[in-house]
Amino acid sequence: MTDIEKITQSKYFLSVLGVLGFLIAGAIIFSAGVYVGEHRARYSYQWGANYERNFLGVPGRIGDAPGLGGPGGDENGRPLGMMRNFEGRDFRNGHGMAGTVVSISDNNIVVKDPSGKENTIAVSEKTLIKNGQADIKITDLKNDDNIVVIGSPGDIGVVNADLIRVFNVR
């Protein structure tokens, strides 16, 4: 048996190798968590310029939820008291939305959702835009078109569209 074989088969060497493997795996998992956290933080940070629109909702709706009841729910699972309108009203979904086209410029579409909030949608060459069964282009969209957008949150507070579906009920 050679010296190298003795070293590689010793319990000390195998223990050190196991600890190093564990540390490397831990570092990779930690790095992945940091990457995801930075991506989410960057998206949220860019939203700061529109704080009032993003978090206070539509003008005139501040204070719509009187009462000081705490978390809980009614028989249908809806929140009570001050948490009554918390769910869904004041927070945007970075992965998609539905609404009416307000304006179209270059590769951006501004969409007004049913609660009156305006959202910017970034369209790329990979974005699929459908009207019924037909594939269309961004230039075929018009103001007041009803659309549903599915995508991912962008770094500057926009939604990067993967799919846009047009629903015109005229």
The CATH number for 116's domain is: 2.40.50.140
Is 78 inside a domain boundary? Answer: no
Residue range of the domain that includes 113: 92-170
Query: Could you tell me the two tokens for 73?
Result: 């729910």
Q: Are residues 43 and 96 in the same domain?
A: no
Q: Which amino acid is at 39?
A: H
Strand, coil or helix: 156: coil
Tokens 């009920």 found at: 169
Q: Are residues 23 and 97 in the same domain?
A: no
Q: Are residues 42 and 96 in the same domain?
A: no
Q: Are residues 37 and 100 in the same domain?
A: no
Is 146 inside a domain boundary? Answer: yes
* DSSP string across 60-112: T-TT-S-----S---TTS---GGGTTHHHHS---TTEEEEEEEEEETTEEEEE
pLDDT higher than 80, residue 121: yes
- pLDDT tens for each residue of 53-88: 454 444 444 444 443 333 444 444 444 444 444 444
| Residues 157, 119: Cα–Cα separation, whole Å | 9
pLDDT of residue 2: 82
Q: Are residues 101 and 41 in the same domain?
A: no
State how many domains the chain has: 2
Task: Give the whole-number percent of the chain exceeding pLDDT 90.
Answer: 36
Is 27 inside a domain boundary? Answer: yes
At residue 130, φ and ψ (nearest 5 deg) are: -120, 140
